[in-house]
Structure 1
Amino acid sequence: MQQSFLDATYRNFLGQAPKWYKLTIIGFLILNPILFFLISPYIAGWALVLEFIFTLAMALKCYPLQPGGLLAIQAVAIGMTSSKTVLHELTVNYEVLLLLIFMVAGIYFMKNLLLFLFTKIITKVQSKIVVSLLFCFSSAFLSAFLDALTVIAVIISVAVGFYSVYHKVASGAPSHGSHDHTSDHELPDYSREDLQDFRAYLRNLLMHAGVGTALGGVMTIVGEPQNLIIGQQAGWEFAEFAIRMSPVTIPVIFCGLLTCFLVEKFKVFSYGVALPDNVRKILVDFDAEETKNRTMADKAKLVAQGAIAIWLIVGLAMHLAAVGLIGLTVIILATSFTGVIEEHQIGHAFEEALPFTALLAVFFAVVAVIVDQQLFTPVISWVLTFEGNMQLVMFYLANGVLSMVSDNVFVGTVYITEVKKALLEGQITRDQFDMLAVAINTGTNLPSVATPNGQAAFLFLLTSAIAPLIRLSYGRMVYMAIPYTVVLTLVGLITIYSGMLVEYTDMFYDMGLIHHHAISDGGGSSSH
C-alpha cells in the first residue's frame, strides 16, 4: 500500500513532465541544502540561479512556475533569503505586477479590433513582401503600447481561424458542421500541396510578427515587463524611456524591417513563400461573408475599441497614471461599451496574464537570493573595471548571451538590481547608471530573439495551438530567427560601441528632452 501511494505521489509530481526532468528537479532539491549548510552559501546561491535558469530553458517540458517555485520556497526555508526580502522585491516592482494583471487583461477585450486589422492585411494586400512588412511593423507598433504576449496571441488567433477555414473547405466538410482541422486524412491529394505552402506562408508571417514584438517591445517602458522594471529603477516615465532608448532602437527597427524585406525578397531561411491562389480565394470569400454578417452592434464595438486604443496611447505617452491603472481603465471602458458585464466573461481575460504574473513573483524570490548572497557583486565589479563604451558593450553582451538561454525578464531584473546597488554604494555615477540601464534593456530585448527561451512571445507561439498545425518546431524557429538575431544584435552592438548612445544622450540633455536624476532608493527623482 505504501509503495503504491509513493508511486502515485511520484506520478503526480510535476504531472506529465519527463521522468528525467522530475528526477533532475528532485536532485536539485536534495543538493541545495547540502551545498548551503556543508559547503558554501555563495556556491549554493549560484547553484540555485543555474537551476532556475535550467527550468526556464526547459519551459517546453514543464512550465517554470512549479519547479522554479519549489526551488524558491526551499531557498526561503533553508535561509538563502527571507520572506521579508522577497516581499520587498515584490513591493518595489508592484507596477510591473499591475501591468501584467490589468494591461494584458485590458487588451483581451480589444481583440476584435486587432483581429479585424490583421484579417484585412492578409485578404486585401496581394504582395507577400508588403504583407510581411505590415505584419512586422504592425506588431512592432502595437507592442510598443500593448503587451507583446497579447499581440502575438491575437495574430495566432487570426492564423488558427484562417487555417481552420481553409482546412474545412479543402476537406469538403459542410460549412456549418464541425470539423477537425488537426487531421489531414480527409484532404484530397491535390489540396495537400496548397496546404503545405499555406503552412509555410503562416510560419513566415508569425515569425515576422514575433520579431516585430521584439522590435517594438524594446522601444517603450510598457513593451516588455523588464522594461518597466528597468525604467522604474531609473525613475524614467514613458516619454523619457523612449527617448533614452532611441539612439539604439531607431536604427534597430529600420534594420529589422530591412531584414524582413530582404529575407522575403531573396527567399532565404525558409521565407518568401507566397499564399497559394486557391487558398487566397477561400480566405477572401470567408472575409466577405464575415463582413456581410457584421451587425451594427459589431461595428459599434469596433469603433469603441478604436477610441479606447487612442486613449491608451495618449494615457501612456502623457503618463496620466501608472501603466497598470491605465490597463484597468481599458478593462472598464472596453467591457462597458462592448456589453461584457458578467463576472465569468471578465474572468477569462485574466487567464493569460496570471500564470506569468505568478512566475514573475518567483523571479523576484530568486532575485532576493542574489541580493542576500551577493552573488553578482564580483561579476558586476569586474565588468565595471572596463571604461567608457567598452563597459556598455560588456553589459550589452552579458545580458544578450544570458537572454538567449534564459528569460529576458529574469536577466534584466537581476542586472538592473545589481547596477542600482552599485549606484547607491557610490561605485558608479548617475550618468553611468543611466547608460548601463540602456545597455541592459537593449541587451535583454534584442539578442533574445535567437531562441524561444528568451522572448515570452516566442515561447507563447511555440507552445500555442497553431505551432503543430503549421509544423513550427523549436529548431525551425531558431533557424528562421538567425537573420534577425544577427542583424539586431550587431546593430545594437555597433550603436553602443560607436559612441552614438553617449553622443545622442548628451544632445537630448542639451535640448531639455531628458533630465539628470538624483540618486534615490525609489529609482531616482528628477532634479531640474
Structure 2
Amino acid sequence: MSYNVRNAIFDNFLGNAPDWYKTTIIGFLLLNPFILYALGPVIASWVIVAEFIFTLAMALKCYPLQPGGLIAIEAVFLGLTSTSTIMHKIDDNLEVLLLLIFMVAGIFFMKNLLLFLFSRILLGIKSKRALSLMFLLVSAFLSAFLDALTVTAVVISVGVGFYGIFHKVAAGIDYKDRADINTDEEVYEQHRADLGQFRSFLRSLMMHAAVGTALGGVCTLVGEPQNLLIANTASWEFTEFFLRMAPVTIPVLFAGIIVCYLLETFKVMGYGALLPDTVRKVMEEDQVNRDAKRTKKDNWNLVMQALVGVWLIIALALHLSTVGLIGLSVIVLASAFTGVIDEHAIGKSFEEALPFTALLTVFFVIVAVIFDQQLFTPIIQYIFTMDSDSQVAAFYMANGVLSAISDNVFVATVYVGEIKQAAVNGVINRETFDLLSVAINTGTNIPSVATPNGQAAFLFLLTSGLAPLIRLSYMRMVVMALPYTIVMTIIGLIGVLYFLKPATATMYEKGLLNHHSIEQLKSDGKSNSH
C-alpha cells in the first residue's frame, strides 16, 4: 500500500479529529485483544469501560458515537458480551430511547414560545444570583414531576436560541438569516470579549439547570427511570416514595441551593459571569424587533404552542402514557396547528435527538459488558459482609462511585436485584431492604453528578449542539460540577447515616409509611420473572 493511500485512509478515519486522538483510538483497538488474552475478560472489560469514558471526555475533539461505537463493536467480537444481552438492555431502556427520539423533537416545535418566555425572564431578572437560583429551582421542580431529559432539552433549546441571537449580531448578520453560529471567524473583534463572557454566563446557567434536574429527579417516583424501578420492586406508591427519600433528598436540595448561591457570590469554579451590557442591549433590541414584526399568525402560533405545552405538562404529570408517546403527540399537535407540514422541516426536529439516541444505544453495549462480566458483583458481595448500619452507607457510596463511571439506571437495576434476592433468601430483613433501597436510589442520583456519563441529562447536554458553542467540555463539566458533587454527596451521606433510620421509624409511628413484608418481594419476583 502506497504512502499516499495510507495517508488518505488515516485522514478519512474519524474525519477532522486530531491525529493524536486517531492514533489513540487505533491503539485501543489493537491493544484490547492482547489484554483479553494476557489478563482475562474482567480486566479487559474494565479497560474497555475506561476507553469508552475517554471517548466521552474527548467529545469536543470527536463525537463519541464513532470511536465509542468501534470499541463497543470490538467488545462484542471479543466475546465480552452478546447481542442478546445488548437487546435485553435496549429493551429495558426502550422508554428512554423513545423519549429522546420524540420528546426532544417535540420541544423543537415549541422553541419560539420558549425563547419568548425565557427572553423576558433573562432580561427581567437583573441579579445573576436570582437568575441562577431560578434556573436551578425550576429545573428541580419540573424534573420531579416530568423528566430530567425533557427539562434538559428545554434548557438546551433556550440556550441555543440566546446564543444565536448575539452571535449573529456580533458577526454583522441579521438574526433571521441562516448563518453558521459554530465559528467565530466572522465575529467582529470588538465583540469577541463580550462573546467569551456570554459563553461563560450561559455555561453557568446550563450547569445550574443540569444540577437542578438531579436535585428534583431524586425526590419522586417519576423523576428518574431507576426511581420507578425501585418503587415497583419495593411496592411503594408516589407519596410513600417521596417520604422515604425525604430524610436524604430534602437536606441535599437545600445544600444545592446554598452551593448555587455561594458559587455565584464568590464567582469561583467557572461561575459568576454576568450578562454583558452589549449582549443585554442586543437581546432587548431583538425582543423589541420580534414584538414589532410579530403578525397575527405568529401570535396564534405562540398561543398554540402554549396550549400544546399545557397538554405536555398535564399528560406527563398524570402519566397518561409513556414519555416518548407523549412527545410524539406533541410533534403531531404542534406541527399540525403551526403550519409545519413539510417533511424536511419536520426532519430538522430530529437532528438534535438522533445522534444522542445512537450514542446512548452504544452505551448500552458497554453496560452489557459490565453485566455479562459481572464487574460489580465483588463489590456487592463485600458490602453484604458488613453490619446492617454500615451496609446502608456503603451501598450509597458504592452506587455513587459506580454510577459516576457507568449508567445510574443500570447500577440501580443490578443493586436492587441483588438486595431483593438477599431479602428473599433471608440474608437481610424487610426493614434493611427498604433502607438499602433508599440508599441505592439516592446513591445513583446524587454523587453521579460528578461526571457527564453518570447522568443521562448531563451526557445529553455534553453531546448537544450547545456544548461546543459555549465551550462546555467534559472536564469543564466535571470541574463545574465538583462543588455540587462534594457538598451534595457529603450531605447525602450524612442523611443516610444519621437521618434516614430515625426519620423512617418516626414516620412508621405516625402511620405515614406502610409496613411491607418479604412475601411481597417473593410474589413480585414470581409475577415479574422473565
What TM-score do you get using the length of structure 2 for normalisation? 0.81
Taking the TM superposition and a 5 Å limit, the aligned residue runs for 1:419-438 are 419-424=416-421, 426=425, 428=428, 432-438=432-438
Cα 1:500–1:327 shift into 2, 3 Å: same
Q: What's 1:416 paired with?
A: 413
Deviation at 1:394, TM superposition (A): 1.9
Q: Which residue is 1:114 aligned to? A: 114
Q: Which has the larger displacement, 362-371 or 452-461?
A: 452-461
Instruction: Please tell me the residue identity of whatever aligns with 1:414.
Output: V
Matched residues in 2 for 1:303 and 1:240: separation? 38
- How far did 1:267 drift? 4.1
Equivalent residues in 2 for 1:448-463 (5 A)? 448-461=448-461
Aligned pair in 2 of structure 1 residues 351, 440: CA closer, same or farther (>3 Å)? farther
1:244–1:505 Cα contact (<8 Å) kept: no
Q: Which residue of 1 aligns with 2:127?
A: 127
Residues 297-324 of structure 1 show CA distances to partners (whole Å, capped at 9, x for unaligned) of 3333333333333433333343333333
Q: Structure 2 matches for 1:97-246, cutoff 5 A?
A: 97-166=97-166, 183=184, 187=188, 197-220=197-220, 223-224=223-224, 227=227, 242-246=242-246
Aligned partners of 2:397, 2:455: CA distance in 1, in Å?
16
Aligned in 2, Cα 1:106/1:504: closer, same or farther, shift over 3 Å? farther
CA contact (8 A) 1:90 1:364 kept: yes
User: Counterpart of 2:521?
Assistant: 519
Alignment gaps of 5+ in structure 1: none
Give the aligned partner of residue 76 of structure 2.
76
Distance 2:313 2:458 in 1: 24
**Where does residue 299 of structure 2 map in the other structure?**
299
Q: Secondary structure in 2 aligned to 1:381?
A: helix
Q: Per-residue deviation at 1:79?
A: 2.9
Q: Does 1:371 align with 2:371?
A: yes
Give 1:137 deviation, angstroms.
Answer: 1.8
CA distance in 2, matches of 1:309, 1:6: 53
Q: Which residue of 1 aligns with 2:260?
A: 260
Which residue number in structure 2 is paired with residue 56 of structure 1? 56
Shift of 1:290: 1.7
Measure, in 1, the Cα distance between the counterparts of 2:345 and 2:437. Answer: 40
Percent identity of equivalent pairs: 57
In the superposition, relative to structure 1, how do residues 18 and 512 fare at CA in structure 2: closer, same or farther (>3 Å)? same
Distance 2:305 2:526 in 1: 36
- Partner Cα distance (1:185, 1:366) in 2: 41
**How many angstroms does 1:493 deviate by?**
1.6
Aligned-residue CA RMSD in angstroms?
3.9
Give 1:353's aligned residue.
353
Contact kept, 8 Å, 2:139 with 2:213, in 1: the verdict is: yes
CA distance 1:206–1:416, shift in 2 (3 Å): same
The amino acid that maps onto 1:70 is L
In the alignment, what sits opposite 2:444?
444
Change (3 A) 1:108 1:514: farther
1:361 Cα deviation (Å)? Answer: 2.8
* 8 A Cα contact 1:399 1:412, kept in partner: no
Q: CA 1:388 to 1:249, structure 2 compared with 1: closer, same or farther past 3 Å?
A: same
Which is further off, 462-471 or 197-206? 462-471
Q: After superposition, what is the alpha-carbon deviation per residue over 1:188-223, rounded to whole angstroms, capped at 9, x for unaligned?
A: 75x666556544433433332232233233334554
For 1:87-98, what aligned pairs fall within 5 Å after superposition? 87-98=87-98
| Contact persistence 2:160–2:466 (CA under 8 A) | yes
For structure 1, which segment, 122-131 or 234-243, has the greater mean C-alpha deviation from structure 2 after superposition?
234-243
2:367–2:410 Cα contact (<8 Å) kept: yes
Q: Distance in 2 between matches of 1:26 and 1:193?
A: 39
- 5+ residue gaps, structure 2, are none
Distance change (3 Å), C-alpha of 1:157 and 1:437: same
The 8 Å contact of residues 352 and 464 in structure 2, kept in 1 or not, is answered as: no
* 1:153-201 Cα shifts (integer Å, max 9, x gaps): 5444444544454456567777877877754877475x66655654443
Q: Give distance in 2, aligned partners of 1:398 and 1:163.
A: 39
Distance 2:420 2:275 in 1: 54
**CA distance in 2: counterparts of 1:69 and 1:233, whole angstroms:** 33
Indicate the larger mover: 129-138 or 147-156.
147-156
Separation (CA, whole Å) in 1 of partners of 2:342 and 2:140: 33
Q: 1:14 is paired with a residue of what secondary structure?
A: coil
Secondary structure of 1:393's partner?
Answer: helix
Instruction: Assess if the C-alpha contact under 8 Å between 2:408 and 2:454 holds in 1.
Output: no
| 1:490, distance to aligned residue in structure 2 (A) | 1.9
Question: How far did 1:383 drift?
Answer: 1.8
Is 2:494 aligned against 1:494? yes
Q: CA 1:438/1:359 → structure 2, altered by over 3 Å: closer, same or farther?
A: farther
Quote how far apart the aligned CAs of 1:382 are: 0.6
Question: CA deviation digits over 1:119-160, x for unaligned, max 9?
Answer: 111122233322222222222233334554554454444445
Superimposed CA distance per residue, residues 97-136 of structure 1 (whole angstroms, 9 cap, x where no aligned partner): 3333333333333333322221111122233322222222
Instruction: Give the 3 Å change call, closer, same or farther, for CA 56–383 of structure 1 in structure 2.
Output: farther
